[in-house]
Copies of this chain bind each other. A is one copy, B any other.
Amino acid sequence: MDTIIIGTIGLDDIQTPFGTVKNVLGGSATYASLAASLFTKPGIVAVAGDDFPKEHLEMFRKKGIDLEGLEKKGKTFRWQGKYEFDMNEAKTLKTDLNSLMDFKAKLPDKYKKAKYVFLGNIDPELQMHVIKQLKNPEVIILDTMNFWISGKKEKLLEVIGKVNILLINDGEARQLFRTTNLMKAASQALKLGPEIVIIKKGEHGSLMFTKDAHFNAPGYPLEDVKDPTGCGDSFGGTLMGYIAKTKSLDQKNIRKGIVYASSVASFNAEDFSTKKLEGLKIRDVQSRFEQLREIREF
A positions within 8 Å CB-CB of B: 85-87, 180-184, 187, 201, 203-205, 207, 214-219, 221-225, 252, 255-256, 258-259, 293, 295-298
A13 to B131, CA, bound (A): 54
Q: Which residues from chain B contact A222 at a C-beta distance below 8 Å? A: 181, 183
Beta-carbon contact of B201 and A256 below 8 Å: no
Q: Pick the residue among B85, B182, B298 that contacts A217 (CB under 8 A).
A: B298
Q: Which residues from chain B contact A296 at a C-beta distance below 8 Å? A: 215-218, 296
Q: Which residues from chain B contact A225 at a C-beta distance below 8 Å? A: 181
A183 to B223, CA, bound (A): 6
Max chain B Cβ within 10 angstroms of own Cβ: one of A203, A224, A255: A203
CB distance from A262 to the nearest CB of B (A): 10
Q: Pick the residue among B218, B219, B255 that contacts A297 (CB under 8 A).
A: B255
Q: List 5 A-B contacts (CB under 8 A).
A: A87-B180, A181-B222, A214-B295, A216-B218, A255-B297
Q: Which residues from chain B contact A181 at a C-beta distance below 8 Å? A: 222-225
CB distance from A247 to the nearest CB of B (A): 18
Tell me the nearest residue of chain B to A222, going by C-beta.
Answer: B183
